[in-house]
Amino acid sequence: MRTTLIAGNWKMNGDLQSVIGLVEGIKAGDAGNAELVVCPPAVYLMKVGGMLAQSGIALGAQNVCDREKGAFTGEISANMLRECGCRYVIVGHSERRSLYGESDELVAARFEMARQGGLVPILCVGESLDERDSGVTEAVVARQIDAVLEGSGIEAFGQAVIAYEPVWAIGTGQVATPEQAQAVHQFIRQRLAQLDGEIAQRVQILYGGSMNPANASQLLSQPDIDGGLIGGASLKADDFLAIAQAA
C-alpha cells in the first residue's frame, strides 16, 4: 500500500522571518496520515533542517548538481545537500527545463547523482499546453522518463518519486481534471510496469499543478495519484496542511 506524500516546493519565495513562521506553523498542525516534505530555497536549508529535527517532516532541496564536486560555480552537490539534512531533492522541474534549458539528459544526470549521493530524487515530468493540444502528452512524458531509465535503470525507481506536472497548470490556476491527471499517472505506472511490475506498483507518483485545499480531495482520490508536489499553496501552513488532510 503506497503512502501519501505531500511535498512543498517553496521556489524562490520568503525571507528568514517568514520561513521560520511557515515551518513553525507546519510543525504545529495536523497532517493526518500523509508524509510531509518541505523544499525551501537552498540558503535556508540548514535553518529549516534544524527546525525539523525530530519532527517527522522531511527536508528536500529544489535542485542538485550533476557532478560530485569541482569547479562548478553556483552549483550544490548531493553530498552538501545531505549534510544539510536533506532526504529528498527535486530534479527536472518544469521551470528548470523551460527557463534554464535543462535537457532530458541533464535531468537524468542530476537524478543519478542524487541517487548516488543518498538522496531520494523527485523526478518531474510533464507537457506544455501546446504539447497537450497536439496530443503528444504521453510521448513527452515517456521521453522524459526513458532518459532516466537509460541512465539509471528501472531499479533506481525503487527509491525515487515521480511528479507529473502539466506545465500549463503550474501557477496558472488551471488544474488538470482528476480524470486527466489520473490518465497520465496510470500511463507512467504502466510504462514502468513494462520493466518491473513490483517497482511500478510501489513508486509514489505525485500530481504537481495548482493543487490546493479545494481540489486536493478529488485529485488524491484517484487510484494512481499518491500525493502532491505543491507550489503556491505550500507557502501557507494552513493550506499545506489542509491538502495533507484531504488525503
Q: What is the CA radius of gyration of the chain?
A: 17
Q: How far apart are CA 111 and CA 64, in angstroms?
A: 8
**Torsion region of 18: left, alpha or beta (phi above 0 gives left; psi -120 to 50 gives alpha):** alpha
Give the three cell numbers for residue 243: 491538502
Catalytically annotated residue among 102, 112, 127, 165: 165
Q: Give the whole-angstrom CA distance, residue 145 versus residue 126.
A: 10
Q: Is 93 annotated as catalytic?
A: yes
Annotated catalytic residue: which of 93, 102, 112, 185? 93
Where in 69-178 does DSSP place strands (E)?
88-91, 120-125, 161-164
| C-alpha torsion 62→173→142→106, nearest 10 | -30
How far apart CA 20 and CA 147 sit, in angstroms, is 38
How is 209-221 classified by DSSP, letter by letter? SS--TTTHHHHHT
The CA distance from 86 to 78, in Å, is 9
Catalytic residues: 93, 165
